[in-house]
Amino acid sequence: MRFEGIYTPIITPFHQDGSIDWDGYGEVIDWQLENGVAGIIVGGSTGEFYALSKEERIEQFRFATKRIGDSAELMAGVNDIRVDECLEITAAARDAGAQSLLVAAPPYSIPSEVELAHHVLKIADTSGLPIMLYNYPGRVVVEMGEEFLNIVSHNPQIAGIKESSGDYTRLPYLSTNYPGIELVVGGEEQVLEFAAWGAKAWVCASANIFPSECVKFMDIVGKQGDFSRGKRLMSAFVPLMNTLEQGGKFLPCVKLGCELQGRPSGIVRPPLLPLEDALREKMTEIITATRDKVNAILNEKG
């Protein structure tokens, strides 16, 4: 397996003036490493890459490489609305020491599947690194469908796919027809379904809040195949994951979760706004209850 375990798309903590809190960023990385994640994703949407300048994104790659060392895999999110900047960021991630890339369709342009395939292969050629595809048509409109997959699957650098379409029929389809592209959990509330179809890795935004718990959860269902215990853990996680995925305030909620765990988080950059008091109170209750229920299950004597 190329990808196995938890890959956390880490947040970017900001000061109140909107500048990056680099000391806090280092603490975010350290905490993930201390809790045994397999990989750290820098430059994902959870890290608010779209609100960062190109220079800030490249500096994050350099900073993370030094901080992570050999303790985990550094995966770089290189998506950008402009292809030339995407390729520049790709080269910068490679030069900084990234070991793999997370690649989605460029936003707004809505390329065809053939056009998207050529874009991905250009990134592969530029980087020379293993690529995890990111299929999220709900965000970028474009589906990484059969035509696309038939083209890119012949390239050995296309190593995995974070499937975030929410379409359960894609799981057996991908697993059966494209076994050379590893299936990676891409929906917070769909861990069991992915594991049943062979997924061993999870790109896990919840690990920003509960890294140790998510590492153990993925081990239980991905390595041990203990779906009985996995169902109980999923039930405990569901209120949090449903709120994150469907509540419409994903990033502010993730950052609140970090704050409640005593971790650096800070503001979200515009156009996003802070949570309203009612949702903040609701999320505080959900996060507290999730922590208690999940750890009660994990701490049971076998």
Residue pair 32/207 in contact (Cβ under 8 Å)? The answer is: yes
For residue 211, the number of C-alpha atoms closer than 13 Å in the C-beta half-sphere is 22
Q: Is position 162 annotated as part of the catalytic site? A: yes
Residue pair 205/254 in contact (Cβ under 8 Å)? The answer is: yes
Residue pair 28/262 in contact (Cβ under 8 Å)? The answer is: no
Please list, in sequence order, all residues whose beta carbon lies within 8 angstroms of the beta carbon of residue 43, skipping any fewer than 6 positions away: 49, 57, 60, 61, 76, 77, 78, 79, 89, 93, 102
Structure tokens at 277: 């008091």
Residue pair 97/76 in contact (Cβ under 8 Å)? The answer is: no
Catalytic residue among 7, 25, 134, 136: 134
Catalytic residue among 7, 25, 136, 162: 162
Q: Is position 134 annotated as part of the catalytic site? A: yes
Please list, in sequence order, all residues whose beta carbon lies within 8 angstroms of the beta carbon of residue 45, skipping any fewer than 6 positions away: 9, 77, 139
| 36 DSSP 8-state letter | T
Structure tokens at 280: 């903040």
Kindly provide the residue ranges of all beta strands, DSSP E only, lying in 119-224, ordered along the sequence: 131-135, 158-163, 182-185, 201-203
Q: How far apart are CA 104 and CA 141, in angstroms?
A: 11
**CA gyration radius for the chain?**
18
Catalytic residue positions?
134, 162
